[in-house]
Structure 1
Amino acid sequence: MTVHSGGCHCGNIRLSFSSALDPAGLEIRACQCSFCTRHGSRAAADPNGRLSISVENRAKLQIYRFGLRTADYLLCRECGVYVAAIAGGGDDARAIVIVSALDDREQFCREPIPVRYDAESREQRLARRRAAWMPVEIEGI
């Protein structure tokens, strides 16, 4: 597995994305919801990989939920960077990483696929995330 490090601009939130997949071939998704388009989001996940998130100062972490309230979107209150989204909790938590928050983001060069999830029910959305998102480990939240 290759480890791709990253985090927010000020360093309060740190990421470690582990994947055996070549970053140049990894599917990148550009969700077309209003939140993701406003953030210029390019998301990636490897269901066989892993994302580790550590937060130095919990008070500087913004957790945002909207729509069907099926995921927590993690942003830094200090520098404003959107770093990841998490669905579920405990050992069942699954996540996506925002490619722009990775230090080696230029290696993830595949053209993003625009996706729309508006037609999904709550159950369909949760099932898709369980299948397509990756396991996540969180420290400091």
Structure 2
Amino acid sequence: MAVHSGGCHCGNIRLSFSTAIDPAGMEIRACQCSFCTRHGSRAAADPKGRLTISVEDKARLQVYRFGLRTADYLICRECGVYVAAIAGEGNDARAIVIVNALDEREQFSREPIPVRYDAESREQRLARRRTAWMPVEVLGI
């Protein structure tokens, strides 16, 4: 597996994304909800990969929930960068990584696929995330 590092602009939040998928071939999703479009979000996940998120100062981490309240959107309070979203807790937690927050983001060059999830019920959304998102570990919070 290759490891792709990244994080927020000020360095408070660090990312380590492990995947066997070549970055140039990885599916990139551009969610069309108002939050993601305002952030210019390009999200990726490898259900067989892993995301590790390290937070230096949890007071500078903003956790935001909206809509069906099925995921935590992680944003740095210091520099404003949206880095990842997490659904579930503990060993069941699954995540997406925001490609724009990765150091080598230009390697993830596949054209983003616009996606809309507005028609999903809460249960459908959680089920999709359990299968399409990747395991995650969060350190420091």
- TM-score normalised to the size of structure 1? 1.00
CA distance in 2, matches of 1:92, 1:61: 21
Number of the residue aligned with 1:3: 3
| 1:91 shift after superposition | 0.1
Name the CA distance, whole Å, in 1 between partners of 2:105 and 2:35: 21
Gap runs ≥5 in structure 1: none
Matched positions, count: 141
Match of 1:103 in 2: 103
Which residue identity lines up with residue 108 of structure 2 in the other structure? F
The residue aligned with 1:32 is 32
Distance in 2 between residues matched to 1:116 and 1:58, nearest whole Å: 31
The aligned counterpart of 2:43 is 43
| Aligned counterpart, 2:128 | 128
Q: CA offset at residue 139 of structure 1?
A: 0.4
**Cα displacement string for residues 35-78 of structure 1 (whole angstroms, at most 9, x for unaligned residues):** 00000000000000000000000000000000000000000000
Q: How far, CA to CA, are the matches of 1:60 and 1:24 in structure 2?
A: 32
Amino acid at match of 1:112: P
Q: Please list every run of at least 4 consecutive aligned residues from structure 1 whose deviation after the TM superposition is greater than 6 angstroms.
A: none
Q: CA deviation at 1:110?
A: 0.1
Distance between the aligned counterparts of 1:128 and 1:97, measured in 2?
Answer: 16
2:66 alignment partner in structure 1: 66
Q: Aligned equivalents of 1:52 and 1:103: distance in 2? A: 15
TM-score (norm 2): 1.00
Q: Cα deviations across residues 58-117 of structure 1 (Å, max 9, x unaligned)? A: 000000000000000000000000000000000000000000000000000000000000
AA of the residue aligned to 1:100: N
CA distance in 2, matches of 1:22, 1:16: 15
> What is aligned with 2:112?
112
CA distance in 2, matches of 1:24, 1:50: 18
Q: CA deviation at 1:10?
A: 0.1
Across the aligned residues of Structure 1 and Structure 2, the Cα RMSD in angstroms comes to: 0.2
Equivalent residue, structure 1, for 2:140 = 140
In structure 2, the gaps of 5 or more residues are: none
CA distance, structure 2, for counterparts of residue 46 and residue 89 of structure 1: 18
